[in-house]
Amino acid sequence: MPGFPSQLPVPAADFVLPLLDWYHANRRKLPWRDNPHWYRVWVSEIMLQQTTVKAVVPYFDAFLDRFPDVRTLAAAEEAEVLALWAGLGYYSRARQLLETARIICSAHDGSFPADYRAALALPGIGRYTAGAILSIAFGLPYPVVEGNVSRVFARYLAYADKWDGRAARGLWNLLSTIVSSSAIADRAGDFNQALMELGATVCTPRHPDCRNCPLTLACAARRRSMQHSLPVKRQARSVIVLDCTVALVRQGQKILMRPNQEAPFPKGLWELPRSNDESLALEIGNSLGTVTHGITHHLIRIQVVGASLVGASIPNGYRWIDPQNPGVGLSGYVRKVLGRLQGQQGQQGQKGR
C-alpha cells in the first residue's frame, strides 16, 4: 500500500511560485475578492459550499446589500435571511450563518475569531471554511481541501486509488506542510485560492486544459495521460422517484401556502398544499400540468391541480402569499410552478423551438 505521499515530488518553491504567478495573471474578478474583509470572505465561503460561482454572485451582491455587516445580519429575522437564500440550496447554511453572526456579536465582540479552534466551534464552519477564512482574510497559514484541490492533487500526483477519507487526510497533511513552508510566507490565502481557481478554470473535471496549466510539466497524470480518469470516485447512489399532487388555490394575486416541515422539500421554505391535505376542505379542479424537481438523490414529479377553498377560513400555519413579494423563502418546485404560470400568461414560448 503506497498510501498518500507525504511530500511533493519537487521542492515546494518549484510548485508554489509558478502557481502563484499563474494566479496573479489569471484570477477571475469576483465580488468578494476586491475587498477580502472577513465578513465578505465568510459569507462568500458559506454560499460557495457545494455551489457554483456563477450561481453565488447575484446572491452575494443582494445579501451584502441588505446585510452589509455582521451586526446588521445578527439583528435580522431568520425568515428574511431564508428569503434571500431561497434558490441557493442547503438552507441550514443560512440558518447557521445567522446563528454564527449572533455568536460573533455576543461572544467575539463583533469580529471573527482569528483562531482555528475558535473558528471551528462556530456553526457551519468546518475545516475547509475555517482554513479559507483564516488564510484569505487574516493571512494565517492554514490549508484548504475541497473538490478542486482534491482533483488537482489526485492528478498532479497520479493518485490512482479511490479518492476516500484516507486520501483526503493525506492531502490535508501534505498541504499543512506546504503552507507552513518558507515558499509561502504570508501568502497562504493566495496559494489556497490559486489551487481552487486552477481546479475551477483549468484542471476541470472534464476536458482539463493541460496546455494552459502552470503545473503541467511535473503533473504525473498528464505524463501518463491519466488526467481524464482521475480522481477515482465511488459510485453514486441511485435516484429515488416520488410522485405527489399539490393544489394551486388563488385569492386575487395571492396563493395559498404553508411552511414545509419534512423531507424531501427543504424545511422552513414554503410550499403549496397537497391536494389530499385533510386539514383543508378543497374542491379540486382542472390539472395545470406537471413539474419535475430534483432534490439530491430524489426526483419528484409534482402534479399541479387548480383548486378552490370550501369555506372562508384557512387552518393554522397556512398563509396567503403574493408570489411577486413573498417575504418568505419558496421551495424550488414552487418557484418552478410560479415561473411556468408567469411564462404562460406573458409572452408564450420564450424558449420555443
Partner DNA sequence: CATACGTGGGC
Partner DNA sequence: TGCCCAAGTAT
Q: Which stretch binds DNA (CB under 7 A): 85-93, 107-115, 179-187, 245-253?
A: 85-93
Q: Which stretch binds DNA (CB under 7 A): 72-80, 123-131, 309-317, 344-352?
A: 123-131
Identity of residue 242? L
CB of 175 to DNA, least distance (A): 14
Contact 93, 329 (CB under 8 A): no
CB of 352 to DNA, least distance (A): 15
Q: Which of 200, 202, 282, 337 binds DNA (CB under 7 A)?
A: 200
CB of 321 to DNA, least distance (A): 15
Q: Which of 5, 36, 87, 259 binds DNA (CB under 7 A)?
A: 87
Looking at beta carbons only, is 134 or 309 nearer to DNA? 134
Q: What are phi and psi of 246, to 5 degrees?
A: -120, 160
Contact 201, 259 (CB under 8 A): no
Looking at beta carbons only, is 201 or 308 nearer to DNA? 201
CA–CA dist 45, 32 (Å, integer): 9
- If one asks whether residue 263 binds DNA (CB under 7 A), the answer comes out as yes
CB of 92 to DNA, least distance (A): 5
- If one asks whether residue 29 binds DNA (CB under 7 A), the answer comes out as no
45 is catalytic: yes
Q: What are phi and psi of 245, to 5 degrees?
A: -120, 130
Contact 344, 288 (CB under 8 A): no
Contact 167, 4 (CB under 8 A): yes
Looking at beta carbons only, is 111 or 290 nearer to DNA? 290
Stretch (H or E) spanning 232: none
- If one asks whether residue 35 binds DNA (CB under 7 A), the answer comes out as no
**Of 132-171, which residues contact DNA (CB under 7 A)?**
132, 146-148, 151, 164-166
Looking at beta carbons only, is 316 or 325 nearer to DNA? 325
Q: Which residue has the cell 468578494?
A: 32
CB of 319 to DNA, least distance (A): 18
Widest pairwise Cα distance in the chain? 77
- If one asks whether residue 317 binds DNA (CB under 7 A), the answer comes out as no
Looking at beta carbons only, is 184 or 197 nearer to DNA? 197
Give the x/- contact pattern for DNA in 265-304, rule: CB under 7 A: xxx-x-----------------------xxxxx-------
CA–CA dist 331, 57 (Å, integer): 20
Residue of 259, 273, 266 lying closest to 309 (CA atoms): 273
- The residues with which 240 forms a beta bridge, in sequence order, are 298
CA–CA dist 291, 244 (Å, integer): 10
CA–CA dist 163, 236 (Å, integer): 13
With a CB cutoff of 8 Å and minimum separation 6, the contacts of 221 are 154, 155, 156, 157, 158, 227, 230
CA–CA dist 339, 297 (Å, integer): 24
Q: Which stretch binds DNA (CB under 7 A): 6-14, 66-74, 190-198, 243-251?
A: 190-198
The residues annotated with a catalytic role in the active site are 45
Contact positions vs DNA (CB under 7 A):
30, 33, 44-45, 48-55, 86-92, 96, 123-130, 132, 146-148, 151, 164-166, 193, 196-197, 199-200, 205-206, 233, 235-237, 239, 263-267, 269, 293-297, 331-333, 335-336
